[in-house]
């Protein structure tokens, strides 16, 4: 069921990698809406994380939405594997190859919701002919590759233009990078509904002390909702 209420999607890039199952259970207990999974290949982005087997292993710990962000190139050879691993949303970058239209078709064909991610330097012109084949557009507010980077303010204007271009279509706008209680309201006001946050959710907590995760999620959500 599509809705544009504010959704907080913690990125497990900032979780304890030796404890993914417990970390996911903790953020869900503490009130997150989606779980954001950052897949990096050391080629499209200068960092390496994990692939389909890890996604499959953590899937059984996720009761909300498994939101898989593919920072990989090429994408197409791996779509089936990530769909089999249980991704609900599978997001590919517009910059990952020359045939993003085909990639989005393949993602929906594999039974996932299709996400389209845009790097900070990418304009929205190339999104126009893809609007009827995407369920989510992810606007990167940092250069992809690492958690804990500084929010890029020029992307506020991009989100406003994108929201106008989307019109009444049931498409989520997701923001990824540098989201805090200070930056979340800027993006909510501009028209975003899914807020990814890694460092700002996991800071101060651990699997043995998950209460700060809840405090962090609630303060990001409250700040964003206050801007609507």
**CA-wise closest residue to 201 among 32, 68, 58, 71:** 32
Q: Is 13 in the site for ligand DX5 (CB under 6 A)?
A: yes
Q: Is 142 in the site for ligand DX5 (CB under 6 A)?
A: yes
Q: 30 touches which of Zn ion, ligand DX5, none (CB within 5 to 8 A by kind)?
A: none
Which residue's CB is nearer to ligand DX5, number 36 or number 221?
Answer: 36
Which residue's CB is nearer to ligand DX5, number 123 or number 148?
Answer: 148
Select the residue whose beta carbon is closest to Zn ion and give its number.
69
Rounded alpha-carbon distances, angstroms, from residue 203 to 82, 181, 209, 210: 28, 13, 11, 10
**CA-wise closest residue to 223 among 194, 190, 180:** 180
Interface with Zn ion in residues 53-92 (CB under 5 A): 69
What is the layout of strands, in order, in the sheet containing 7-10?
7-10, 194-197, 172-176, 136-140, 113-118, 89-93, 66-71, 35-40
Binding-site entries for a divalent metal cation:
36, 38, 69, 176
Select the residue whose beta carbon is closest to ligand DX5 and give its number.
198
Kindly state the smallest distance separating residue 176's Cβ from Zn ion, in Å.
Answer: 4
Kindly state the smallest distance separating residue 9's Cβ from Zn ion, in Å.
Answer: 9
Residue 208 is among the residues annotated as catalytic for this protein: no
Q: Is 147 in the site for ligand DX5 (CB under 6 A)?
A: yes
**CA-wise closest residue to 35 among 78, 100, 88, 75:** 88
Residue 16 is among the residues annotated as catalytic for this protein: no
Q: Is 36 in the site for ligand DX5 (CB under 6 A)?
A: yes
x-marked contacts with ligand DX5 along 52-81 as a string, rule CB under 6 A: -----------------x------------
3-state helix, strand, coil in the chain (%, to 5): 40, 20, 40
Q: Is 38 in the site for Zn ion (CB under 5 A)?
A: yes
146 vs 45: CA distance, rounded Å? 9
Q: Which residues are catalytic?
A: 38, 176
């Amino acid at each position: 069921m599509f809705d544009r209420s504010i959704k907080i999607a913690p990125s497990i890039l900032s979780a304890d990698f030796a404890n993914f199952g417990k970390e996911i259970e903790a953020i869900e207990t503490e009130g997150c809406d989606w779980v954001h999974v950052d897949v990096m290949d050391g080629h499209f982005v200068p960092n390496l994380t994990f692939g389909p087997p890890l996604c499959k292993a953590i899937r059984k710990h996720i009761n909300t939405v498994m939101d898989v962000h593919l920072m990989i190139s090429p994408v197409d050879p791996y779509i089936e594997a990530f769909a089999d691993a249980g991704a609900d949303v599978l997001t590919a970058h517009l910059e990952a190859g020359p045939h993003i239209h085909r990639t989005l078709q393949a993602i929906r064909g594999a039974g996932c919701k299709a996400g389209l991610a845009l790097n900070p330097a990418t304009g929205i012109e190339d999104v126009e002919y893809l609007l009827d084949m995407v369920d989510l557009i992810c606007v990167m507010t940092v250069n992809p590759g690492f958690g804990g980077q500084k929010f890029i303010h020029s992307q506020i204007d991009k989100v406003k233009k994108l929201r106008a271009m989307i019109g009444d279509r049931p498409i989520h706008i997701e923001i990824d990078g540098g989201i805090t209680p200070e930056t979340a309201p800027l993006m909510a006001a501009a028209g975003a509904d899914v807020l990814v946050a890694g460092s700002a959710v996991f800071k101060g907590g651990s699997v043995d002390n998950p209460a700060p995760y809840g405090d962090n999620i609630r303060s990001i959500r409250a700040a964003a909702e206050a801007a609507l």
